[in-house]
Amino acid sequence: MKLWFVLCLALLWVELQNGDCQQVKRRKDVGENRSRPGGKRVKVRHPKLKDGGGKGQSLLTQVLDKGRFLRLGQSTNLTPGKNIELRCKGNSIGWSYPTYLDTFNDSRLSIKQSDKYSQLILTSPSAADTGPYSCWVIVCDGTECEKDHERSYVSYIYFTDKDNLFVPSTIHFEIVYLRPDRPAVVPCRVTDPQATVSLHREVPPEEIIANGTQVTYDPTKGFVLQNPSPEHQGVFYCKAVTKGTPQISTKYQLLYVEVPSGAPFVSLEYSPESVRGGDNINLTCTVLGEPEVDVSFTWSYPGQGHRPVHIQTSWRLVNRGVSHTTRVTQSVMTVEDMETIDFGNYICKAKNQHGETIVTTDIISK
């Protein structure tokens, strides 16, 4: 029961990180290659998920008054407050929509599948619902179902709200990790694609000019820094103007990290250094890695199944100098009152999304 709960939490975490909420079980979605760039809210879309999708016209439509339909293109501007109904033709359809709607298990969203089409209804949409809405045909071969990438359609819907030029965020102070090997995104998205947006450093006050090469602005993503470097660290905010007074986004803390992505870098230590029967010992398995890369631990030990042990896992962010941030994840196993059965080989297995590292240590009786 407990394991099931932990698994659910882990899945939820993965979903949140991926930025999209899938209506189809993950298993069915094998073709999709999602990766996670610097900005948490940003999605890497399948290249075929472009305007109208692959073959033929988009099957994604908006139902207007009096039974009229509007085929949705790459982006759509809608008015907040007015309920929307989207339809996608087909008897088995998958949907994705902004994460926000699932994070709060929003009852404003409903999806119904009928014989001929699937219907997505969102009531009282607001600026926060701005984002990509996509549908695709699910093809099944027996019990194995998959997303048909050729028949996948997306429209980025802006719920333009002059009082919320920036898509509201539930986080007031976001952290953006900068890595030397990939672009970073300051995710100040807007609800009006016509808005003029600029990026500003707080201290010293400075505007970072988007000149189309190193720094670019995409209203559906935010500011993209092509080659982040330690100089880009600091507290930033975005400013947007249409008509009238400019609006300021939430703040973003940009942190530079240099730890490469890979299997965890692990060390295993124990204390005290010399152990005798009757002693209490702590074994500490430590992983140094990227700030948002989660690590899980598995222990194997001589008294496994016979002797109770206590295991505690925790993590913290450590600033090493001005330009590095490292996540230190630790699992500490405590064995009390060492018995003969407890001496021998202790194995710590640390796993992240990139791989697994195994470290061992031998505890011998002194």
Site for ligand NAG, rule CB under 6 A: 33, 35, 105, 107, 211, 213-214, 271-272, 280-282, 334
Quick one: 73 or 230, whose CB is closer to ligand NAG? 230
Q: Identify which of residues 214 and 242 has a Cβ nearer to ligand NAG in the complex.
A: 214
Tell whether the torsion through CA atoms of 344, 350, 356 and 357 is positive or negative. negative
Instruction: Decide whether 213 or 245 has the Cβ nearer to ligand NAG.
Output: 213
Question: What's the rounded Cα separation, in Å, for the pair 127 and 174?
Answer: 19
Nearest one of 47, 326, 318, 45 to 179, comparing CA atoms: 326
Q: Which is nearer to ligand NAG, 105 or 245 (CB)?
A: 105
Q: Are strands 75-78 and 144-159 parallel, antiparallel or unpaired?
A: parallel
Q: State the nearest-atom distance from the C-beta of 355 to ligand NAG, in Å.
A: 13
For ligand NAG, which is the closer residue by CB, 9 or 64?
9
- Closest approach of Cβ 304 to ligand NAG, in Å? 20
Residue 35 or 143 having the CB closest to ligand NAG = 35
Min dist. Cβ of residue 192 to ligand NAG (A):
26
Looking at the Cβ atoms of 9 and 317, the one nearer to ligand NAG is: 9
Cα distances (angstroms) measured from residue 324 to each of 123, 195, 287? 44, 34, 16
Q: Using alpha carbons, select from 353, 219, 200, 366 the residue that is nearest to residue 290.
A: 353
The pair of structure tokens assigned to 165 is 């030029």
CB atoms within 10 A of CB 197: 23
Q: C-beta of 41: minimal distance to ligand NAG in Å?
A: 19
- Minimum distance of ligand NAG from residue 105's CB (angstroms): 4
Least CB distance from residue 210 to ligand NAG, whole Å? 9
The dihedral through the CA atoms of 332, 333, 336, 337 has a sign that is negative
Complex with ligand NAG: residue 227 or 296, whichever CB lies closer: 227
Between CA 366 and CA 348 the distance in angstroms is: 22
Sheet strands (E) in 196-256:
196-201, 206-208, 215-218, 222-225, 234-241, 247-248, 251-256
- Other C-beta atoms closer than 10 Å to the C-beta of 338 total 19
Shortest CB 35 distance to ligand NAG, Å: 6
Nearer to ligand NAG, 92 or 282 (CB): 282
Contact status, residue 133 vs residue 155, Cβ threshold 8 Å: yes
Spatial distance between the Cα atoms of 298 and 282, rounded to a whole number of angstroms: 15
Q: Give least dist CB 260 to ligand NAG, A.
A: 14
DSSP H or E segment with residue 103: helix 100-103
Other Cβ atoms within 10 Å of 310 Cβ, number: 10
The distance of closest approach from Cβ of residue 151 to ligand NAG in the complex, given in angstroms and rounded to an integer, is: 20
